[in-house]
Amino acid sequence: MDWKIEVVFIPVTDIDRSKHFYAEQVGFHADHDSTVSDEIRFVQLTPPGSACSIALGRGITDMEPGSQRGVQVVVPDADEARAHLLANGVECSEVDEQAWGRFVTFADPDGNTWALQQLPDYTKLAEYQAANGVVSN
């Protein structure tokens, strides 16, 4: 039986501002924006190439705006992803070099945080682990 993560809810205060941020600045595709009733509005956006989307809106989660921490997205090139964010006005970290990948972090206007990870060259990771006595299970 397959279990697939399809949607991650992102709690926000201003739906239109957040939709603009994720679509126009970060570069997610705006899939749809539906107002079901006065109490429910559902906006779905998908990162390029991802099978998992994010949802934001009104009446769809009881999480506090800004409380979603550490959603992680894999990117092919951390430097390119960082340059894209900066070119679109998104404040982000420098590239953080780790043995297990290269990371760039940023937050949306409400403070929900994201980590972009460029996966490591697993050959070099195995060499690093062997040289440093790291045991992986």
- Residue 2 domain-assigned (yes or no): no
The CATH number of the domain where 16 resides is what? 3.10.180.10
Q: How many domains does the chain have?
A: 1
Of the candidates 56, 18, 20, 17, the one whose C-alpha atom is nearest the C-alpha of residue 40 is 56
Residue-averaged pLDDT of the chain: 94
Q: What is the pLDDT of residues 36-92, one digit of tens each?
A: 999 999 999 999 999 999 999 999 999 999 999 999 999 999 999 999 999 999 999
Distance, CA of 52 to CA of 72 (rounded, Å):
11
- pLDDT score at 135: 72
Question: What pTM was computed for the model?
Answer: 0.88
- Residue 136 domain-assigned (yes or no): no
- Residue 75's domain comprises 7-131
Once rounded to an integer, what is the mean pLDDT over residues 99-126?
A: 92
- Residue 64 domain-assigned (yes or no): yes
How close are the terminal C-alpha atoms of the chain, in Å? 24
- Residue 76 domain-assigned (yes or no): yes
